[in-house]
Structure formats: structure tokens, C-alpha cells
Structure 1
């Protein structure tokens, strides 16, 4: 005869499937995450529409192929960026092949989804379920609110954001070791991601003051979590000297203000204006809240607790500083501003009488405009690069090397030819970067330390079969760089002109 205990266990076993189904129907995350995943994919469908969106993607793809061929990072393969994303590109190429960037674009969608989920978690903990869902949706909608070349590409900022938001979330929950590790991962994706350390430390100090506890043990956890991953990468997985130079100390001239300040300020305020237009739906409540506080009028609270957002403002300030470092103000830099802005907007809506519907409607309409813009984005540069790459491939064999004198390293990847030098853009040899046409700090004398000596040694081992002059009228065109002009006059003959790109072949 069954005992009462056995009867209770049998009844529980019978009810478990129904309870599980009820939980799935009522579960907050099981309902929200699929919606966020669908929105993340929908907003970034245009990213799969073209082979390459930006020179950064071309640089990473070429870099990954060089690493797969036995190149050594920060030695025979160089860049001013940390190693995590080049390694990710290399890993994807090893699994899926290097002919397409679709695996990286897929992972970029996943990175946006993870960022949205983390933001939803932060907002839910502060302002409730509706705010959590709103924050996740607002982020995904505004994540395409810049030039398509900046938002649809699988580049550093996109993969930096999940770790950045995770660092803030862990700090908010006083998980200091995890916060330090997240800051490290963020910094190893892009240096400026380390700026999130400022709000992490701010929250540590505020928590210690509020709870009346000592902060050194927690600070040690943050420092330990931050230092160990970076030390592992710098000392064991790469060459320490090379890592220190390329990631930390070797970008002084590149990050200088230079003389092109009008161009840089124009780009800074131009991209800020575009982002403001994309996010006006949730930025307006932030401005309204600040205005009411300035006028010392009480805020109308609608069912949500008015909590402090000082830590979010500290986060935004640190992100503004990060975007400004180097004075380049490229559009993709502004992706770093989006998470704290979204949370500030979410908090402003959740703690006021403003309804969610107009906020989401406006942001959806703006996202739709940017989505359509991405699908119809002009492809002249891509078409020209494809034509040049086809010509280069026709003039060479897979064993030949090629040198592209310009700022479009994707030509190497599109042509499927090996670079003749570790310096994949002319910027390493001249200190040129996009938008610095008026800078006086462009020329041979402003190159990366010992770059020309290394370059000469590389060419002494064998001249490239094809030389592509992609400089146009830039301040590093061959007539302004005597070494390159002499190289072309002595060893090469012109074989074609495509747009403003000139293709040369080695004299035999």
C-alpha cells in the first residue's frame, strides 16, 4: 500500500509538467528574450547585405588570414587594437572559412542581444518589469541610429558593449571580482572600453559609504579581476613588449589633436546630432527631467520609485571621455554612449508621467528610417574596391604579395592576396587617419617608431608583384612621400586606373 510520502511525491511529479508550462508562460525572461532576439536580428538584417561595411572589418579579416598563415600578433601582424577581436575573426575563419564575414555578423547580432538583455536586467532591478523590457527594446532600436557603416559592421565597439554593460551590472550587485574581469575583457576588445572602470569605482565608494564598510578588500577584488586577464594576454598569449607598444604606448601621434580641428569638431557634433535624432524619443524625457530639477519643481512620479541615477551619469561621462580620446569622433565610437543613455532615458520615463507608447513609437519610426537607409546605402566605394580587387587578383597568383598604399585594407581580403608588409594601411607609415586631411602631423617623420626600417627590410625580402596606389589626393600620396615615389619610379609600371586608384605591376 502506498505511503503518504509516496502519494505526495507522485502528485508532485504529476503537477511538475503543468507548473513548468505555467512558468514558461508567465516567466518574464522566457517572454522577453525571444522578442529581443527577433528585434536584434531584424534591425541588423542589412549587415548581411554587403561583403564589407567598413575598413575596420577589412583590416580584421586580413589580419585574421595573416595570423592563420603563421603570423605573430604584435610582431609580424600589427594593429593599435587589443587582441580579442582579431582572435575571434581568426577562430571564425578557421571554422567557417575566410571567404565571408557572415559568421562575424551573426555574432555581432548576438553581442547586441546580450547587451540588450543586460540593460533590461539593470532597468528591471531599478524600475520594474516594464522598464526592463523598454530598456532592451530601446537599445536595439537605437543601436542602428548612426551611419550604417558604423552600426552594421562587426567591429570593436559592438563586441565591447556586452562586457562593458556586464561590468556595470556586476558592480551594481557588489560582485566586484566579476566586475573587474568584465572591465578587463572590455579593455582587451578596445582600450577605451576600460573607461567603465570609473563608474565601477564610483559604485564601490558609494556602497562602502552607504553600508559603512571598508572598501580596500573590494578594491583588491576589482584590481585582481582586471589585472589577471590582461597579464595573461600580455605575458603569455602575446609578446609583452609588442603588446605594451601597440596597445598602450605606441599611439601618441595617432591620438594627437593635430591641426584638423574643424573637421574633427564637425564630425563630433554631426554624429552627436544623428544619435540625438535617433534617440530623441527617450532623450526628451531625460532633458525634461533635468529641466524640472533645475527649476526645482517636483517630478511627477507614476508608480515607480524615484531612485538616484548618479552612477548612470558617471558612466555616461566616462563614455564621453572615451569617445573623445584621440579626437577622431568616428561614428562607431558613439556606440559606447548608447547603453548609459538608454538607461537614463528609461529611468526618466519610468519615474515620470510620460507614457511608454510615444517613446517606443518614435524610436521605432527612427529605427525604420535608419534600417531603410542601410539597405539603400550607396555602394560606390564597395563597387570600386571590388573592381580593384578583381584586377589585382587577375594580375597575380596566390603566391604573390600585394601592397596597398591607402586606407582600405579590405582590398587584400577581397583580392585574396597576401600583404607584402605588416603595415596594412599607409597610416602606420605616415600617421594619417580618416578626417585628418588638414593635419600637419602627416608624413614620413610621423610614422610609427622604426616603421620605415621594418618596411624596408620587408621589401628587401621581395618586392610585391602589384602595388595599388589608393591614396587619391590624400596628404600621403606618393608625390608627397619620397620613398614611395622612388619605389614606384624605379621598380613599377602603371597598368591601370580605376576611379582615383592606380594599379602598378612590378617590372620584370
Structure 2
């Protein structure tokens, strides 16, 4: 827990595995040249989003090798492996289950033994999911993966905020995929590629991005593998110079996004580092602290133990759903979270509370339980970079 290096290396490995799986699928369908093109194109466009979305070790990055492997295995008639890969994708992130759509399409196109293939696929999907449910408790598994926060998966309350984010991230992804989109569009106009499973994969992935109506940039990573294969297939029936153009355009876009990641300022990180330094200066190594905000890395940077299992205000207020106000508050949090939170604070009061809401909708003044807790035991001691520090009085 002293370094993020291993996690970053794992993310690099996940991207390489995704590229290899896509290259293998393209090679089987269209030959060696197409395989090389698919692998290279994927790696070039994989950074084509806001760097905080595409160049970080997000859970979508670790989901993508499973989705690409599911299609690769189904393309070869390896149905149990395809099912296991779908399960791996789904257990990494629920929307990874979208990979089941192309798998089932390829199964339907299979010339013989469909019943056996379907059974093997279902068993492959079900075994890891059921095992995970049994290990964690079926009711808890269902709660935390499906039913736990109905307020999160709603469109009401922040329509313009959410739609603006969706459009912005779609445009950013289009810029990152500038080398892929022209051949796909051109082939749509002049020919059919016979890639119905890939179109189904793209449509199912787009549905996964829409699910929940939040449109965070990292959600869009799920669209890149099917886009790469569709573009690779399109380039096979276009003149050779089209492939060169696609590679050069993708390389240029990749360079721009890498420069963005290297040179763009990081105001949130700078704020968190200042906050962590202040927390470290005002507490001892054995003290527990509560940072009321959306930056859990503050605890890690400060080297202090959290006073609660809830590392951000998200699960307690629904702010992590990207809402801009109307559906943020105690009543929108995950069911049962506030009694647990209040119990934790009562049994082990933190030595320091940092209110890092800075005018956002989860400020303590909008949360009666937290406001009462602060008023009963704490006094305001300082303001650091807009965050209010409270020290315990009793």
C-alpha cells in the first residue's frame, strides 16, 4: 500500500491483453495484416478520452480483456471459455455483461450443436457469478451489485448536467477515434462487411454506457474494442492507403491525448495534496480522521486511518452519481448506510473532521445527522484551501 506502481503495471497488462485478443480475432477473420492493424489501432485509441478516464487504472480497463476474450472465444466455438470471460467482465463491472450479446449471436450462427453450446455458455457465465454470490452472501451480493442504490440509476433531477457530460465525452471519444470512424462510415455507405456480431457488440456496449444515465468518460472505454474491429473489417475492403491514413491519424490523436495527460494541470490532485499535508500536520499517526468529500486518496496521502468505512460522501448522499443537487441528501443514500455511519462516528469519534464539500450539494448544512454530530462534539479550527477543519472538543 505504499505504491500504485503494481496497479499501473496491471492496467498496462490489461490493455495489452485486450489488444492481443482483438488482434487474434481480426487475424482469424481477415488475415495477418488485419490482426496487426487491430492490435496497433486499439493501443493507439485506448487513450482517447480525458486522461483521468482513459489513462488511469479504472475498472473498465480491467473489464476490457474479458469482453475481448469473450468474443474471441465465441468466434472459435469455445463456448465455456466465452461464458467464463463474460462472467469475468460482468464481475469486474456489471455492464461488462453486454459482451453476452455478440456471444449469443455467434452461438446462433453456429451450424450445429446449438443446444450443447448454449448449455456450456450458460454454465460458463453462471459458475463464477454464483460462486461470488455464495462467497459474499447472495442477498448482499444482489444488494451491492444490482438493487443497492435506485437513486443512482435515475435520470430525473440533473437532466441538463448529465446530457452535457454525455455529449462532451462522446465528442472527446470521437476525436480519439478520428482514425477509426471514417472507414466505418465509408464502408457503411458502399458495402456490407458481414460483421453483424460486431455491430451488435457496439450497440450493446452503447446501451451499457447509457445505463444509469451518468455518462462518465471512463464508461465510454467499453465502446473502443468493437469500434476497432469494425474499423479493421472496413479497412479490408478499402484501398491500402486507407489503412496508412487510419494509423497515422490514430497516432496523431494518441500523441495529443498523451500530451494532454502529461501537461494538463491537475487542480483536484493539488488540492488533495494540500489537504493531506494539513491533516498530517494536525494529527498523530494513531489518530482517526474523517474527510467529508469525494477524494478518498486524502487518507492515503496523509497516512491516516479513516474513521468510517464510507471513504467518500457518495454512498451516503448519492453525490457519486454525478448529480448536481436535486437528488443529493441523506434520503438518497444507500439504504441502511446512515445508521451504520452514525454508529461508527459515535463509537470511535475522529480526532479531526475535514469538511471538503466546498459548496457542493453534500455540505453538512444539508445533512441533519452530520450537522448534529459536528455541533455536539467539534469546533471549527481552520480553513485550508476552502476545506473546513473541525477538532474534537470532547
Q: TM-score, normalised by structure 2?
A: 0.96
Q: What per-residue deviation string (whole Å, max 9, x for no partner) do you get for residues 287-314 of structure 1?
A: 111123xxxxxx4xxxxxx751110000
Match of 2:56 in 1: 153
Counterpart mapping for 1:32-71 below 5 A: none
| Contact persistence 2:69–2:82 (CA under 8 A) | yes
3-state SS of 1:473 partner: coil
User: For residues 269 and 376 of structure 1, what CA distance do their matches in structure 2 show?
Assistant: 24
Give the CA deviation at 1:336. Answer: 0.5
Residue 303 of structure 2 corresponds to residue 400 of structure 1 = no
Instruction: Show structure 1 runs of 5+ residues with no match.
Output: 1-97, 293-298, 300-305
Partners of 2:322 and 2:133 lie apart in 1 by 31
The match for 1:227 among 126, 131, 135 is 126
Counterpart of 1:435 (choices 282, 306, 322) is 322
Please say if residues 388 and 411 of structure 1, whose CA atoms lie closer than 8 Å, have aligned partners that are also in contact: yes
Is 1:250 aligned to 2:133, yes or no? no
Residue aligning to 1:283: 181
**Cα distance in 1 for residues equivalent to 2:71 and 2:319:** 35
1:104 partnered with 2:7:
yes
Which residue of structure 1 lines up, in the alignment, with residue 33 of structure 2? Answer: 130
Tell me how far 1:322 sits from its aligned partner.
0.7
Q: Does 1:270 align with 2:168?
A: yes
How far does residue 189 in structure 1 lie from its aligned partner after superposition?
0.8
Aligned-partner SS, 1:99? coil
SS in 2 for 1:502: strand
Counterpart in the other structure of 2:264:
377
**Higher CA-based Rg:** 1
Contact 1:144/1:367 (<8 A) preserved = yes
State the shift of 1:397 in Å: 2.3
Give the Cα separation in 1 of the matches to 2:11 and 2:194.
32
Alignment partner for residue 452 of structure 1, among 338, 363, 383? 338
Q: Contact 1:384–1:498 (CA<8 Å) still a contact in 2? A: no
- In the alignment, the residues of structure 1 paired with residue 286 and residue 95 of structure 2 have an alpha-carbon distance, to the nearest angstrom, of 38
User: Which residue is 2:217 aligned to?
Assistant: 331
Aligned residue for 1:260? 158
Q: Does residue 391 of structure 2 align to residue 493 of structure 1?
A: no
Cα distance, 1:172 vs structure 2: 0.8
Indicate whether 1:351 and 2:231 are aligned. Answer: no
Q: What is the CA distance between 1:352 and its match in structure 2?
A: 1.5
Counterpart Cα distance in 1 of 2:116 and 2:285: 57
Aligned residues of 2:149 and 2:333 also touching (Cα < 8 A): no
Of 315, 327, 349, which aligns to 2:201?
Answer: 315
> What residue is the counterpart of 1:462 in the other structure?
348
The one-character-per-residue Cα deviations of 1:147-180 (angstroms, maximum 9, x if unpaired) are 0101111110001100110001111111110001
How far apart in 2 are the matches of 1:203 and 1:248?
27
**What TM-score, normalized by structure 1, do the two folds share?**
0.75
Separation in 1 of the partners of 2:61 and 2:73? 20
Find the aligned partners of 2:156 and 2:388 in 1 and give their Cα distance: 29
1:413-452 residue CA offsets vs partner (Å, 9 max, x unmatched) = 11122211121211211111253114x2211111211111
Map Cα deviations across residues 188-244 of structure 1 (whole Å, 9 max, x no partner). Answer: 11111111111111111122xxx2x342221111111111111222213x2333222
Q: Is the 8 A contact 1:160 1:186 kept in 2?
A: yes
Q: How many residues align?
A: 393
**Correspondence 1:216 to 2:115:** yes
* SS of residue paired to 2:382: strand
CA contact (8 A) 1:120 1:135 kept: yes
